[in-house]
Amino acid sequence: MNQKLIPLIITIAVLLGGMVIYALNSDGIVSGGGTVAITDVTGRTVQIPAQVNKVVGTGCSNREIVYLNASDKMVGIEQVETNSTGGWGTQLPYIVAHPELMKLPVVGDARKSIINYEKIAELDPDVVFAADVKQAEAIQSKTGIPTVVVYTGAVGTPEQMENYRNSLKIMGKVLGRDDRAEELVNYINSYEEDLAKRTNSASSNMTVYLGGQAYRGSHGITSTNPFYPPFRLTNANNVASTLNISDTSKAIQIDKEQLIKWNPDVIFIEESSLAAAVNDINKHREYKDLKAVKNGNVYGILSYCLHSYNKDVLIANAYYIGKVLYPQQFSDVNPEEKADEIFVKFVGKPVYNNLKESQGGFKKINL
């Protein structure tokens, strides 16, 4: 070999090696044994396999795994995602779109904060998703499986929505679905922009109220949400937004007298709680005098909070609420067709009619 070429060959080899290391580091820090360092939503650094083929989602995170087109990697579900007693599988869009998931082993019950560590260890996934640090550390210490904390909760404030977008990207990186994560974030952004464009300059003097906000089960008419995202996205005048609430992540219970004092023009009821809410209205005669009830402005919507928060339902509900409050600005929107467009983008199938059958769908409630 020409001795003059040796330095050139060494230089090229070093450059190529640097390029490989840079490429690997672009998605995470690769260390020995084919692992990647991932920083989760809490700032924890977790070493996970560079190639994830099997995953378990706890803390209501299976929804996002489906959103990321990675349901083929799932090896377990939570009890509430089944169609057994107490299960809501037939009402969850991502499970309705992928009913085969209900055949997977049950690894816990999010409603009761129960984790079946033995079952997770037996399934031996490459990685586990968890809802918080305490849960993640418990799973990781008891199973030896790397566990990443993600955010799949409420998005009633811009800060929560930004946290959710970031979490989708982290999950996409873990699952090898970076492009899909970006696609989902772009979907969310485009819908937010469209709703804002339609409603920012629109005038609606009607006050609105959400009744029957589900949270770890169904509730009556006085269960509401001061930070209900579809109201925020449509610039609706949510009477409950005046409440001074520090916890923006869950439903609250108000007094009957407060609802009567607010006397909203329009009431929307989450349909997983419809029976309880209607029973409340019929039981208490004072509710019959509410403007929304007297004028026939009570509407049923899909349940956004059902086994945590269904972001596809959130957006679909926003378009229906927009149609009710601003008919002119939403004259080109068929809410049922729009819902299926959204479901196809998030879970891969048009499941609105299935949810309409199990919950009731978008409709005026006759009282």
Q: Which residues contact 24 (CB under 8 A, 6 or more apart)?
A: 30
Q: What is the pTM of this model?
A: 0.89
Q: Residue 112 — very low, low, confident or very high, per pLDDT cuts 50/70/90?
A: confident
What DSSP designation does 365 have?
Answer: P
Strand partners, 300: 269, 363
More confident site: 11 or 301: 301
Residue 257 lies in a domain: yes
Calculate the CA 89 to chain-centre distance: 15
Alpha-carbon span 318 to 328, nearest angstrom = 15
* Res 220: pLDDT: 84
CB 135 within 8 A of CB 59: yes
- Note whether 358 and 273 are same-domain residues: yes
Helix, strand, coil distribution of the chain in percent, nearest 5: 50, 15, 35
**CA distances in angstroms from 357 to 37, 142, 207, listed in the order given:** 44, 41, 29
Strand partners, 56: 128
Residue 16 lies in a domain: no
Alpha-carbon span 171 to 360, nearest angstrom = 32
Q: Tell me the residue type at 208.
A: V
Could you tell me which of 238, 235, 241 has the C-alpha nearest to residue 192?
Answer: 235
CB 221 within 8 A of CB 254: no
Q: Tell me the residue type at 77.
A: I
Residue 42 lies in a domain: yes
Q: Residue 24 — very low, low, confident or very high, per pLDDT cuts 50/70/90?
A: very low
Whether the pLDDT of residue 28 is over 60: the answer is no
Domain of residue 308, residue span: 204-364
- Note whether 228 and 83 are same-domain residues: no
SS3 251: coil
CB 224 within 8 A of CB 254: yes
State the virtual CA torsion across 247, 156, 106, 112 in degrees, nearest 10: 20
**CA distances in angstroms from 89 to 43, 79, 82, 141, listed in the order given:** 32, 9, 5, 30
Mean pLDDT of 289-303: 96
Whether the pLDDT of residue 239 is over 50: the answer is yes
Alpha-carbon span 78 to 65, nearest angstrom = 13
Least confident of 19-33, 59-73, 214-228, 237-251: 19-33
Residue 153: CATH number of its domain: 3.40.50.1980
What are the pLDDT digits (tens) for 327-356? 999 999 999 999 999 999 999 999 999 999
Q: Of 176, 191, 217, which one is at a domain's C-terminal end?
A: 176
Residue 1 lies in a domain: no
CB 227 within 8 A of CB 216: no
Residue 75 lies in a domain: yes
Q: Of 140, 160, 176, which one is at a domain's C-terminal end?
A: 176
Q: Tell me the residue type at 321.
A: I
What are the pLDDT digits (tens) for 31-74? 445 999 999 999 999 999 999 999 999 999 999 999 999 999 99
Beta strands at 223-224 and 266-270: parallel, antiparallel or unpaired: unpaired
- Note whether 103 and 223 are same-domain residues: no
Question: Count of domains in the chain?
Answer: 2
Alpha-carbon span 209 to 71, nearest angstrom = 36
What are the pLDDT digits (tens) for 178-198? 999 999 999 999 999 999 999
